[in-house]
Every structure is written in C-alpha cells, then in structure tokens.
Structure 1
Amino acid sequence: MWATLRFLLRFRYRVQLHGLEELRSVQGPILVLPNHPAYVDPPLVLSHLRFGRSLRPLVFADTFRSWIFYPFCKASHAFEVPNLKSHSRDAHRQTTEMIDRVVAGVEAGNDFLIYPSGRLKRQGTEVIGGARMAYELLTRCPNLQVILVRTEGMWGSRFGCAQTGGVPDLAGAARLALGSLLSSLLFFVPKRKVSLTAQAIDRSQLPLASKESLNRFLEAWYNANGGEEPTFVPYNPWFGPREFDFEAVQREGAVDADSIKPATKQAIAEMLAEHLGRPLDAAENIPTMTLDTLGLDSLERMDMALEMEREFGFRSNHVPTTVGEMWLLAEGRLASDENDEAKIPEIWSKPPKDDGAIPKALGETLAESFVLRAIERPDSAAVADQLSGVLTYRKLLTGATLLSKRIAKLEGDAIGILLPASVAADTVFLAIQLAGKLPVLLNWTTGDAGLRHAVEKLEVKKVLTSQRFLDRLGIEIPGADVVSLEEMRGGIGKWEQVSTYAATYLAPRSFLRNLPQPDRDAPAAVLFTSGSEALPKAVPLSHRNLIADINAGVNLIQFGQSDILFGFLPPFHSFGLTAAFLMPVLTGIRVVHYPDPTDARGLARVIRSYGATLMFATPTFLQYIFGVSTPEDLQTLRTVMVGAEKCPDALHDRFEAALPSAVLLEGYGITECSPVVSGSRPTDSRRGTIGKPLDCVEMLIVHAETHQPIDDGETGLLLVRGESIFSGYLKHDGPQPFVEVAGASWYNTGDLVMKDPDGFFHFRGRMKRFLKIGGEMVSLPALEEPLAKAFPIGDEGPRIAVEGIELDGGRQIVLFTCEEISLRDANALIREAGMQGIMRLDEVRVVQQIPVLGTGKTDYRTLRSWVSEMPASAEQKSA
C-alpha cells in the first residue's frame, strides 16, 4: 500500500529525504513527532518514512471519517481521536480517555505518529504552545524512543491554512487536486518540492521538567531553518493562476481591535490572566496572539470557551484560538462552524397551492390536527433546520410515529422535553401527543434547581433530550432519568422505518384510527411561568386552549400558504411552543428553526438562506439580529411580531429604516393564555400599543382594588377570559388567579393597561412591579421608560433596568445600568418625562450586564435579589 501511495504522490510532490538511514537502529516502542503544515503531510511522512516499523497515526474524527482519508486511516490502523474544535464536556472526557488509550497502546508495543501541536499550523513557523499530548506520553512512558520529523515546502499548499486563513475544506481541496491531475494529463503536473528531515533524539536530550520546556525544544527543532514563506505552485502547466496573494488572506481574516469594546478586552485579559497565573503584557494582548503561544493547550482552551459561554451568554461551535477570536466570541460575533449555509432542497421553495383563505388547524386535538394536515399535504415541506434538513409532512409523521411507540413504553404519564427550537423538538412533542402522554417543556436556563422544581412538581420520570445538547449545557436533571434521542433512534429497525413510511402512502387514514382520544379540555402541554418574579408555576394548556389561540393568531397575523415562519424561540417559551411551532405546523405553514437565539449571526443567516417571511421575537433578540445583519439579510421578512417586553421606539425606527416594506407589530401574551392575548394587525396597528384582543379573547379593565370596570382612558387591572385561557395552575398551593366580575370568571393577568378611544390597549406594567409608598403607587416601569429611551436596547441586550423593594418606613429603587450615569442625571431624565416627588430613583449601580432570562425578558427576580442583598452606599444615595 505504501509503495502505491508513494507512487501516486510523486505526480505532485518531489520529496527529498534526510536522516532516514539512522532510524533503522532505533529500538523499543517509537513515538514519531512531525510538524504539521498541511493535511497531505501525514501520507507523505508515512509513505516515505519507511524503516521497518508500522506507525499508527493519531487522526481527528473529522479527518478520519472523510471519504478521502478513511481508506488510508483504516489501512494504517489509525487511532481516531475526538475533534477538539467542537467544545463540550464530553469532548474533554474523551480526550483524557484517549490519552490513556494511547499509553496502553504504547505499553502493548505499538508505535505511534502524533502531531505535538494537535492541529495544522496557522503561520510560517510551527507553534506547539501549551499542547500536552507529547509531554504526557513521554512522562508516562519512560521506554518511548523519539523520532522528530521536519516537513518543509508544504506551507502555501491548498491542503494547509495559508490559502484560506483557516482550516481548508478537505473534500473540496481533494476534488480540486484530482481535477488538476487529470487536466495536466498526470505526468505534466507542476511539482511541489518537499523536504523531510528525520532525527532520532536520545531521551536524555529532551527537557522533560515541564510541558512548556519540552514544547519550546520541539518548536526550536521544527523552526531551526527559520519560518517558511508561503509558496504557491501552479496546479496546471498551461492555464490557471500562476501566483497567489497570501497577504490578502491575512488582511481579510484580521480582527479589528478598534471595533472591540474596551470592557470586553479587559474582561478577556482578566480571564486569561486567571488561567495563566500571570497578567498579559502589552505585546500579548493583541488580536493575533494565539492561545497556544500563551501556553494554553486544547483542553484549557475548551474550558475557557465553556467559561465564556456561561459568562457572556454567546457560543460558537469553534473553539477560539487567538485573543482576537476570544474578543469576538465575548461580543457574540464569532461565527460557528455549524452555521455554514447548507444546500436547501428544492422542495422548500415550493409552497402548497394558495387559495387565498386564512389557514387553520383541522382537528379538535393537537394529534388529530397534525395527522389531518399530514394526510392533506403529505409531500409539502413542513419543518426544517440546519441539522435535520427539510422534512415533509410525510417524513414528520413517520418520525413522530416511530418515536411514539417507544415513548408509550416509558414510565410515567408526563414526559419531559429538554430541547432547543429544532426539528427534533417538533418531532418529539408530536410523538408524545401520538403516544397519549403529556409533554412537559423544561427550561434549562433555570439551572439544576429550576429543573428539579419542575420534574418534582409534575412527577416527571423521563426526560427526552439530545445527548449532544445536554453535554454542551453541562447540567443535570435531578429526580428524572435522561433518555437520549440518539439512543432511542438507534433502536428503530430498518423494516419498521420502511413499513411505517409505506403506510403513509398505502393507508394514511390508519394513523387517524390509532390516535389517542383525549378530552379537548385535558392538558395537552405543560409549560412554566418565566420565573422573572417568583418560582415558576406549572401551566397546563389544553387542546382547546392551544387550538383556539392558533386559529385566532393566524387570523391576527394574516398567514398565507406561501409564508415561511422563522422559529427560534425555545419550546419552553410559550411563544416558542405555540407561535413558532404548533401554529405553522398545524396550519400548513413552513417553519424553519434555529437552536440558539443568542447567535445573532446564525439567526440572520437562516432568515436569508431559507427566505423567512414571518417571525416572532422579543425586542432583545430582534436587536441582536439587527446588530450583526444587513438589510439584504432580512429582505424577505414581511411581518415581525415582538412581545414579552415593551418594544423601544429606537427599535421601531431602526426596523422601519432597514425594512420599509415590512411591518413590526407588538403583541401581548401570557403563558397562561396560550399565550397570545392581543396584538396589532398588519392593517390595523399603532406604535407603542399591544393592539386589540384576539377573536377568541375578551379583555376587561377594572379598578386594581375594587375590581369594578373603569372607563376608557383610565389605567387599571387587565382581566381576560376566553377559549385560550387556561383552567388553573397544576399542583399549586396558593390561590388560583381567577376573579368573579359581573357573574363571570376572569383570569387576573396582574398587568396594568389602558384602553384608548380607538380600542387599542396600552401596556403600563406589572402590578408586582409597583411599590406602595405612603399610600401612593410608584410604577417601576414608568421610572424605567425614559431611561430606556435614553439608553435603548443595544446589540448586546438591555442597557438599563429599574427594580425596587419596599422597606420598613421607606423604599429602595435602583437603576441598574451598563452605562456611566450619575444618580442626579438619571433622576433629571425622569423629571424631564414629567414625573416628580416620589417618582425618583434612590441609587444607581453600574453592572457589566443586565441579567436576561432564556425567554429574552429582563430577569427582574435576580435584580430584586440584588437590591435586597446589596445595601446602597452613602455615596450612591447622595450622588
């Protein structure tokens, strides 16, 4: 095999060998340590470095599984190792286990070829940095003999990083190389000159006092001839490019230090100093400084990436390799490898026939509505995401049916779902419906304590999730067993898949006959309140509730059959479940998902790629999208509805300037109301209002204390009733939120609103966000509004928030802000808005970030705890 490979490589490479003769006398288990300028140097080294030993190369999983290298890896008994560009706790564990397995292999007499840097080099010199693999093997295996190999002449190859500024597309480079060979008639391919130098190193010469000293020794040996300049060798003797501008690649990939906030640079410098045990000097705190040069190995870089996700709330599937990339990740601007645009099947661009009618759900229960829709248009696109691709209703029905048979056998009537917005979440939810069980949507942003509260409250025994997703979150679910979707799918046989899929053609109505028959008023799903003000309460929404809200919501937004809805809010968010999943799927509208609402670049990319026309969002998430997108990215949008918090005027202005042909609507919803209660219509809207009630909802404004109806123009407590309103909290020890007014039962929203003469409702705030001071009510939202206008939501989220508490004989009202503003100036803004007297702030606290819930709302519960736990300083109160 090696002779054949060496013969094939000679068509492109002219290899000179140095030092091969002295290797034949080396005894004992051998560790070959080459530098790594390009993907093609492993076959070059292994095919030319023949000295009577069989070397097992360590190969990353992505390369190992690639079609071009897989036969080579199998033939050479290559050792597959986890791909460390994708950070996770599982990858961390696998890496540690992998080192143990290599040590065991050495002890069994195997010889290995390992790249000390663990990655392709990014510059003309080889940098080992803080990589630990070579050091650990040499210190744990005292009988290992070392051979160093220096490959020169490959820097500038299309199989390396010089031409792209990053890791090249291996399959694409291989296809181009094959085309070059054929177009040059094999024998006329221009040759790249490559030098391979091998040297056996006596262990006594190796500085093994620390990994740093060993790595500096290896770097000095690899770079003994100085750093290489990239060399371009044409691929064809007759036509094609004759030179390549490598400097342009470097300029394009550079991080603009001036575009990074000083606070971000400072936070990253402090984080690096903590990991390194020393502060960074000025020469190191630059965007091009690589983390391995600083001495951080791959596992430490992974730990830092996970720490940054927790600290800053942003993530990328790509582990940062430079200080500049850390800056970008901290500001949510580092692209993820998962975000690469995939080819979208043609079926996605073929909407069903549009008869002009407003679509609606076809059944009385969720399961019946789904199956009827799947029978009506089996081969129309239903759902999509970048991982699962596009699924038709036929495929979605098949997948949900197959999973439902496994779910039916799981312990307990309530089944937990812990998944982001995705095709997988849609399929699992529908499968639970088909199995006749109750889906419980779990909010992972509440942490272990919140999840424990949820599973105990509902007696959830099994939670369905993706192992990959759970591993990235790094959380546990106390009190419940995790069931991996990957494992569940692996247990589905081919025959069962084929027969179920065939049934969608041969006997589609058989799926209706096998449906469970729940009462319309039985719970169809359980969500939890946001927890922004108290412990989350379990909210059961019935089939009647959800279908009423779906049909009225579609009529509100004026869905059309040709629309494409972008659903990225998580399914534990009531808007994420109803508006971004059930509403489109049950009414026949295509929906595309994205799992991470904080990855603004990914959100913008999906809108553009899939041609989304409709979107539900929170103002915070919409601001994230605008912060990184261009109007061209969002040009397909025609209607966007925001809710969960007041939409700032600045965001309205920005939307209208960027998308003049689209409409931005505000809606009002509550988890207990399925969730949409009211909203502006595309043809009947008014900025700053929450619109008018849905067709299925009645809204009544009453006096907050007497519950007597009040006149239009007055602010009072909002009560609602209708088919979409839930029946009461599950297993709740406190009072249920219903009041009797005028002989009817109404849900008490706890919100203060005002109705204007034209029938538009204006949201004034939560009752719980009012303080009673000296017999008068102080509205915290009212205090917050002028400050929010002065400091509108930025690309990183909210910049201010106001919270307060009542104290014995007084109060404490605090402005939390990411901006520098004095208490005097903040109160001046409030006075300019017409408020005075008790309508003032007592303190200003500057914070690095305003806490935000996973739903996108400001986390006032956390802010309230900060007010209670941190007494004001005298300086702050008197400022």
Structure 2
Amino acid sequence: MGKWIQALIYFVLRRLLHRRYDVEVLGLDKLEKLAGPVLVLPNHPAYVDPPIVLSHLRFGKSLRPLVFTDTYRSPLFYPLMNVIDAYEVPNLQSHSRDAHAKTTQLIEQVAGELNHGQSFLIYPSGRLQRQGYEIVGGARIAYELLERVENVNVVLVRTRGLWGSRYGCAQEGDVPALGRNALASFLWILAGLVFFLPKRKVTLEIHPVDRADLPMESKTALNRYLESFYNADGGETAKYVPYSYLFGPRDFDYDAVKRKGIVDLSEIPETTIREVHEILEHRLDRPLEEKEKEPGTTLDLLGLDSLERMDLALELERQFGFRSDHVPASVGELCLLAAGKAPTDEQPLEVPEGWEDEKKPSTNHPEVLAETIAEAFVRRALQSANHTAVADTLSGALNYRKLLVGATLLSKRIAKLEANSVGIMLPASVAADSVVLATLLAGKLPVMLNWTTGPAGLRHATEKLEVTHVVTSKRFMDRLGVDIDGVEMFYLEDVREGISTWEKLQTLIATYIAPGSFLRNIPQPNPDDPAVLLFTSGSENLPKAVPLSHRNLIADMRGGIDHMDFHRSDTLLGFLPPFHSFGLTATALMPILSGIRVVHHADPTDSRMLARIIAAYKPTFTFTTPTFLQYIVSSSEPGELESLRLVMVGAEKCPASLYEQTMKILPQLDLLEGYGITECSPVVSGNKPGHNKPGTIGLPINCVETLVVHPETHQPLPQGEAGLLLIRGASVFNGYYKYDAPQPFLEVDGHRWYNSGDLVAKDEDGFIQFRGRLKRFLKIGGEMVSLPALEAPLAEKYPADEEGPKVAVEGIERDGGRCIVLFTTQEITLREANDLLKQAGFQGIMRLDEVRQVEAIPVLGTGKTNYRELRSWIEEGSEVAAKS
C-alpha cells in the first residue's frame, strides 16, 4: 500500500510541477534492468530539483531521499516526509560535536540500509550549488557509502535548467528562504491562472555507472570524477524565467548579487589572516596557493567537507575566542570568524515576556535577608515571589517563584549524588544561577570549575576537591569541546526530562499554600562553613582552591551594596563566568539575594551581542574587566549603551584611553574602577558614584580594613608611600584548601591580615592607588623594578581593542642578569619602545631588554593577560621574534 501511495503522490507532484517546469528525461530506459539497491547521485542546483528528480525517475524502485532536518521538520513538508520515507539528516550549518557524531552515525545507518536492499537519493555535495557548477569538494558521504556497500547500482544524474531559479542561490547569493519562495511561487501561479505560466526548461541526464568503474582509490579521486560528470558541459549560466506572460519582472541582475557576496577583509588584521592561512595549511597538509588565499575561495574547493569545515570552525573558536552559529564556507568567512566579525542576525532582540517588572518593591533598598546563602535565597524568593529575578536569551525571564521551584526540584536530584562536593561548569546564565542555588539547597558544596584551564587544569581541580560529578549542559559541553577524565557528567537536559509535570505542579502550589515548608527544608550550616569553592586566576601561579564561607560572601555583598548605593529598581547585566569570583558574587548571587533584576549572557567575548542585549533589556549597571568593556564599547552602535548609569571595572588597570573613549559616548556614565581579589569574596575597594578619583581603585568597602606595610619589614607605612596591601574583615577567607605551602597571612599590630601580594599607596583622602603585583617586581641592584609600571605607557600608546591586548611586559631574574621583555602584536623595535619609556620619565634600570613580536597576547578566560604563560616563554626561549 505504501508504494501505491508514493506512486500517487509522485504522479500528482509531476502534474503540478508540469505547470511551471518542462522536464525532459534523457536515459530513463537505461534503468529498466537494474537489480538490487540503487544509489542515485544527482547534482543540486536548486531546492526544487529533489521533487523533480524523485517524481520523474520512474523505474520500479522506491527511492528514499536524504533530507536536512530544517526542511524535514518544516510545517510545509513534514506531513509528506513519512509518506515518501525520507531520511532525516542533521543540519551541519550549525556546528557542534553532537551533529558531527550524528552524521557519522548516519553514514553507518544508510550503508546498512543499502546492504539490506533499500535504494537512496543522495546529493554528494551535501548542499546547494553556490555557483553555476557543482562542487563536491571534500564531501565524504558518497565515498564512504560506496566503501561500505559493494553490491549497489550507482546512477548519476545531471540536472540542467534550474540555475537562476528563485529556489537556488543565484538570486540571493546564499541559501534561499524555502517557505517564503514557495509562497511567492504559489501566488504567481494563482495570478497566472495555473495554466498560463511561462515554463522553465529542465533536463535530467541519467547515467548508470558500474561501481567497478568508479575511482575508489580515495575520496578526492571519486569526488573529482563526480565533479567532472556534473560539470562536463562547463556548468550553467543563470537564466531568469518570468512568472507571467503579461506582467512582473522580465530579467534579473545576477552580477549584482555576486558583487554583494564578496567578503571584505580590509579591517581584519594581517596577523589574523596569516594565522588563518597557517591553520588551513595545517589542515590540508600542504601550502596554499596564492589564488586559494582569496577571500572568495570556498572551503569546498580546498577539499574540506561539511564535517571538516565544522571541526575547523570549532578550532578557530577555541583559538581566537569568538563564536558564531554559522559554519564558514569560504576563506574570507574563516577570517571574519577569527576576528570576531562573523555575520550575525542584527534584528532587534525581543525582550521575553515577564522581563518588564511592573510590580514595585515595597522598599527600594536591596537587602540580603539571612546569614547563609540558601536561606537568604528562599526568604528573598518568598518575599518577592512575583518580581522578576533573572533572564537570559535561552531561558527567557523567570520571577522568584519560578526560580525557587526550579532550584528546589533540581536540588532533590543533586542531593542524591554521593560526594559532598559538586562540580559546576556552566557559563553566566539562568541555568548557572539555578544550579548554584540548588546545590546549596541540597546541602552540597559548589565547586566552580574554570573550563578555560583545559583538560589538565580541570582534572587537577576535580582530583584536588575529590569531585565525582560535574553539573553542566550537553549544549554547553557540545560547544566547548572539553572532556574531564574521572568524573561523571550530570546533564541538566537529562534532569529536566526526569521531572514530571505533576511534581512541578506540586512544588508550584506549595509556594502559595505552604511557603514555610521551603524554609523548614533548608540545610542549616554554620555561617563560617564553606559556601562555595573557587580557584585563583592562575595568571602567575598554578590555581589554588579558595573556600569562601557564607559569612564571607554575604558580608561582601552587603558591603558592596552600601558602597555603591544600588537600588531595587536597578537592573544588572551579568556576563562574567561564575568561576570568576566577581562573576559569582557580584553578577549572580548579589542581585538574586538582594532583589535586583539581572540579565545574563554566556559569552563575555561576544561583544556585539552584549551591546544588543544592553539595547534591548536596558540594564542600568554592570561589572566587567577593562578588556571586556573595550570589546563592548568598540562593537556598539550609537545609542545602544545609553541605559547604563554605572560601570564598575576591575581585575586589571583601566587604561586612560578606554576611560576617555567610554566617557565620550556615555558622558553621563559613572565609570568606576575598583579592586577585588578572589580570597576576599572578592570586592575590597571601589570608587563611588559621585565620589570618583579616576586612576585609583577607590575606598575600602565597609566590611574590610586595609593596611599598607613595607614589603620586607611589614611595618606600617605613612600616607602616600607605596607598600604591600594587607586586608582583614568578614569577607576575607580563612585559607586555601589542601594547600601545603604557607598560608597568605601576616601578623601585624596584633591582628591577622591577608597578604594580597599587591603594592598600593593611599592618598590624603584614603583613596587607594594600585602600583602592581609584588610578584611582578624585579629587584635589580637593590632597586625594585615594576613590570606593570613599564607596561603602562606602552599600553597607553597601544591600547587593547576587540582583538585583545596589544602589549604586555614580563620579566625574570637570571644568574647572568635580568631579562625584561615586551611582548607585542605590533611592529615595535626595542629602541622605539625604550624611547617611549624615556618620554614617560623612566630611566636607568627602568628599561626593556628585549621585544618579542607575537601573533596574540595570551589571556585567561577572565580576560586578564596570562603572565604565567609569558614568563614560561621567556624561561623556555619560545615565541621569539626579537626586534632591535
């Protein structure tokens, strides 16, 4: 019965297509004697050629077409897919390891079906033609199927007459919108009264080929053979066929479309382009010819199939730090991705329903309502149940009631995990907030894992903390491409599937009729017990485990709220990752516990999207690093950032050039510099709105005391003199976890102080001036040489931009003397660099010994310069390109 239904459908389809297409089939008689499974391999000039081929190849066999999932699942075609026995294929235009694995599995399954007698229609190129000829390139599906299936009839089909159709790429320069064009065609058919349409002449040339005659020595050989068949007549020139004899357009400017599609690389740094070429050459295992370096050269032409293009795009993402959901198809698009300028959807973002919180809080003062994190959250959620709490572009907007329900349901699953410590590896998001809160509600210790440290760093962290389970997302891990040995992944997608609608409903109802039950079920830790475990940045040494207690975190939140005079009516943009101490405390826990709305974005380097989120969600303040702020400011369009009234930057010195650039476009903004350190939960000091001294890191917040002492004698120093910064107070941690070396505390004046390792000075008003890391000083001839001080004038001359920092200074002391090196992405000689230092007032020993030009300054996931890696380069003598 199924075959008769298919035959009827194809008959009707043939009659419908005949209204527009005059189809001539050449060589159909050659198929009559084929016995066994058949593999039909056509070229692919337009979306309309599959129904034409399927409905006109009538030779007594049912052909199963392979259909990409976007088309397969579309409302327009989905009802027919099962009837014609189509085979769904994952769409590799959106790249991921999951799609890669599914495609490999697909090839195995189709090969199995062929071996069992099924017949298939498969397009070897795997995509629509982008020009008037077919490029199979490095596609692997035809070769791998023929490698696995020996007893199969191969039928090649060359389609002519469709290039230039609205269903191909010629009219738009890219894949056309199928639904929109189908609707337009339908309206034209109605306008032409069905029977009065000009017809497009289409020819199908059919050539059965003995499998033994195919060049199967390699994928490349087979693909070149197929291309030579498809393009035997030199390819096609785009032809326009009107839809009416009486009205409508009579011609189309295809050349204008070609000009519009040219990729402009004029603003891409030459170093980035060269590096992309080198990566390509490594992939191809051969040098690129000059013509192959042209931006318009397609990756197909270079021999890269869809899976290889996807792998290449993921490699570029990991190396350059920029993301795109679009798989590059040409050399030029690879360069755009590497430079963070890949095409994006620039439609205005739609704010999710529920984000605009119309309910006014009873008080405008943010307040943390308890002494432990879990209790503070539950009390806030019950008090502000219907107020908006968090949002992101994936989860939408959640009020406190929904956040409490979600965290409670998740906590029941996390509570069943054996170990007390639970790893968490998620970017800034509603999911990350929910998981941290759920872990605490479950009575477990959240361990925030820094995925930018790579597999070795993650393994070190999980082993040190005896983590057996890591809570994460399949979507995130699929994109990240990082594996952790020795732990079990606890995927949020699996958890959601295991929660019944009835359980969700019960928990939701409880928030109305039994809110006290949530308070009764909260774990009751001591406020001095660890609430979360973070790791130091590792910019200068191996990361150390930092346990922060409930008292530490809540004291810091309360101190920061009072210091900055935040309001409940404020809205925060949070995009720093939660493994970053500022990202966890300031942009996740603080707003949620105190009642301030927060919108998250997962990628701090996705500057264009961050600017668009600010334009849509209208946040009033954010916390960031100067590097990430530079990205946002450089990528924003006029007016997009106007909702911001306050930006606090820290983690590195804010360059004067960035301050000036930001204030120029946002003159009403309070751009404040602050100082924090993971061990202090993290905020220690900051400038205040209306009380700001640019160039300083502000005044200490009210939960800490600070003291400046001599770096060697540890004696307190007078005002204005630079020395070592010591800190004490409720927000200061109690010592590193499982740490064999001495803990970072000093006894001074009868008190125990945390030794920050940073050099500062206090002015007459108590404002702190940051002078650099003590470890980033070299003692030469009895004098202290500040590496940050040497770096500052160079960074002013060559400020960081969306590509990252352009200069960094690092040095070491050797037996034969010192070695202070300027690492730079710019063309600077040693003499030019030292002349800049002289102009800034440095002399004598305050100079550089060497300049090394590098492709990029290494940075950590937080955006900080990775000085530890730079120091290793000096010690190992690598990355050398000295300029005298």
With normalisation by structure 1, the TM-score equals 0.94
Q: What is the aligned counterpart of 1:271 among 271, 275, 279?
A: 279
What's the counterpart of residue 590 of structure 1? 597
What's the counterpart of residue 23 of structure 1? 31
CA contact (8 A) 1:11 1:189 kept: no
Letter in structure 2 aligned against 1:143: N
CA contact (8 A) 2:812 2:871 kept: yes
What's the counterpart of residue 59 of structure 1? 67
CA contact (8 A) 1:601 1:629 kept: yes
Q: What is the aligned counterpart of 1:624 among 609, 631, 636?
A: 631
Do structure 1's residue 830 and structure 2's residue 822 form an aligned pair?
no
Do structure 1's residue 282 and structure 2's residue 290 form an aligned pair?
yes
Residues 445-844 of structure 1: matches in 2 within 5 Å?
445-808=452-815, 810-844=817-851
Do structure 1's residue 79 and structure 2's residue 70 form an aligned pair?
no
Q: What is the aligned counterpart of 1:45 among 46, 53, 69?
A: 53
Structure-1 separation of matches of 2:615 and 2:243: 35
What's the counterpart of residue 12 of structure 2? 7
Distance 1:95-1:473 versus aligned 2 partners, 3 A rule? same
Farther off after superposition, 690-699 or 606-615: 606-615
SS in 1 for 2:856: coil
CA contact (8 A) 1:367 1:515 kept: yes
Q: Cα deviations across residues 613-670 of structure 1 (Å, max 9, x unaligned)?
A: 3221111112222333323332332222111100111111111122223232111110
Structure-1 separation of matches of 2:52 and 2:388: 47
In the alignment, structure 2 segments of 5+ residues that lack a partner are: none
Q: What is the aligned counterpart of 2:225 among 190, 202, 217?
A: 217
CA contact (8 A) 1:11 1:187 kept: no
Q: What is the aligned counterpart of 2:268 among 256, 260, 277?
A: 260
Structure-2 separation of matches of 1:829 and 1:571: 39
Q: CA deviation at 1:220?
A: 3.5
CA contact (8 A) 2:389 2:595 kept: yes
Do structure 1's residue 126 and structure 2's residue 134 form an aligned pair?
yes
Q: Cα deviations across residues 440-473 of structure 1 (Å, max 9, x unaligned)?
A: 0001111122112211221111111112322333
Note the aligned Cα RMSD (angstroms): 2.7
Q: Cα deviations across residues 710-767 of structure 1 (Å, max 9, x unaligned)?
A: 2221111111222222122112212222222223222111111111122221110011
Q: Cα deviations across residues 227-249 of structure 1 (Å, max 9, x unaligned)?
A: 44555667799998776655554
Structure-2 separation of matches of 1:428 and 1:463: 11
Letter in structure 2 aligned against 1:126: E
What's the counterpart of residue 116 of structure 1? 124
Q: What is the aligned counterpart of 1:98 among 103, 106, 111?
A: 106
SS in 1 for 2:695: coil
Q: CA deviation at 1:259?
A: 2.2
Structure-1 separation of matches of 2:521 and 2:251: 67
Letter in structure 2 aligned against 1:516: P
Letter in structure 2 aligned against 1:708: Q
Letter in structure 1 aligned against 2:330: T
Q: Cα deviations across residues 357-411 of structure 1 (Å, max 9, x unaligned)?
A: 2312222222122222222333333222222222222222222111111100001
CA contact (8 A) 2:163 2:238 kept: yes
SS in 2 for 1:519: coil
Q: CA deviation at 1:64?
A: 2.8
Q: Cα deviations across residues 67-121 of structure 1 (Å, max 9, x unaligned)?
A: 3333222222322233222333343333222212211111111101111111122
Identical amino acids, percent of aligned pairs: 60
Farther off after superposition, 211-220 or 464-473: 211-220
Structure-1 separation of matches of 2:729 and 2:59: 83
SS in 2 for 1:258: coil
CA contact (8 A) 1:68 1:174 kept: no
Letter in structure 2 aligned against 1:7: V
Structure-1 separation of matches of 2:255 and 2:572: 42
Q: Cα deviations across residues 152-192 of structure 1 (Å, max 9, x unaligned)?
A: 444455544344433344455556666x3797597479566
SS in 2 for 1:463: strand
Farther off after superposition, 210-219 or 99-108: 210-219
SS in 2 for 1:56: strand
Q: CA deviation at 1:678?
A: 1.1
Letter in structure 1 aligned against 2:736: Y
Letter in structure 1 aligned against 2:324: S
Distance 1:208-1:404 versus aligned 2 partners, 3 A rule? same
Distance 1:632-1:871 versus aligned 2 partners, 3 A rule? closer
Distance 1:308-1:876 versus aligned 2 partners, 3 A rule? closer
Letter in structure 1 aligned against 2:141: M
Q: Cα deviations across residues 327-364 of structure 1 (Å, max 9, x unaligned)?
A: 11111111367x97653323213354166723122222
Distance 1:588-1:157 versus aligned 2 partners, 3 A rule? farther
Q: Cα deviations across residues 46-69 of structure 1 (Å, max 9, x unaligned)?
A: 234333211112222333333333
Structure-2 separation of matches of 1:251 and 1:370: 57
Structure-2 separation of matches of 1:377 and 1:5: 60
Structure-2 separation of matches of 1:237 and 1:370: 70
Do structure 1's residue 140 and structure 2's residue 161 form an aligned pair?
no
What's the counterpart of residue 415 of structure 2? 408
Structure-1 separation of matches of 2:295 and 2:206: 36
What's the counterpart of residue 424 of structure 2? 417
Structure-2 separation of matches of 1:448 and 1:728: 26
Distance 1:229-1:109 versus aligned 2 partners, 3 A rule? same
Letter in structure 1 aligned against 2:35: Q
Structure-1 separation of matches of 2:390 and 2:244: 45
Q: CA deviation at 1:309?
A: 2.7
Letter in structure 1 aligned against 2:299: L
SS in 1 for 2:354: helix
Letter in structure 2 aligned against 1:773: I
SS in 1 for 2:202: strand
Distance 1:604-1:120 versus aligned 2 partners, 3 A rule? farther
Farther off after superposition, 432-441 or 359-368: 359-368
Q: Cα deviations across residues 793-815 of structure 1 (Å, max 9, x unaligned)?
A: 12211111111112235222111
CA contact (8 A) 1:546 1:578 kept: yes
Do structure 1's residue 149 and structure 2's residue 162 form an aligned pair?
no
Letter in structure 2 aligned against 1:555: D
What's the counterpart of residue 450 of structure 2? 443
SS in 2 for 1:410: coil
Distance 1:170-1:524 versus aligned 2 partners, 3 A rule? farther
Letter in structure 2 aligned against 1:806: E
SS in 2 for 1:119: coil
Distance 1:390-1:463 versus aligned 2 partners, 3 A rule? same
Structure-2 separation of matches of 1:690 and 1:753: 10
Structure-2 separation of matches of 1:271 and 1:309: 12
Q: What is the aligned counterpart of 1:364 among 371, 376, 386?
A: 371
Do structure 1's residue 865 and structure 2's residue 872 form an aligned pair?
yes
Letter in structure 2 aligned against 1:219: E
CA contact (8 A) 1:769 1:780 kept: yes
Structure-2 separation of matches of 1:350 and 1:164: 42
What's the counterpart of residue 433 of structure 2? 426
Distance 1:530-1:340 versus aligned 2 partners, 3 A rule? farther
Q: Cα deviations across residues 188-223 of structure 1 (Å, max 9, x unaligned)?
A: 795663625041322255443433333233334334
Structure-2 separation of matches of 1:763 and 1:692: 12
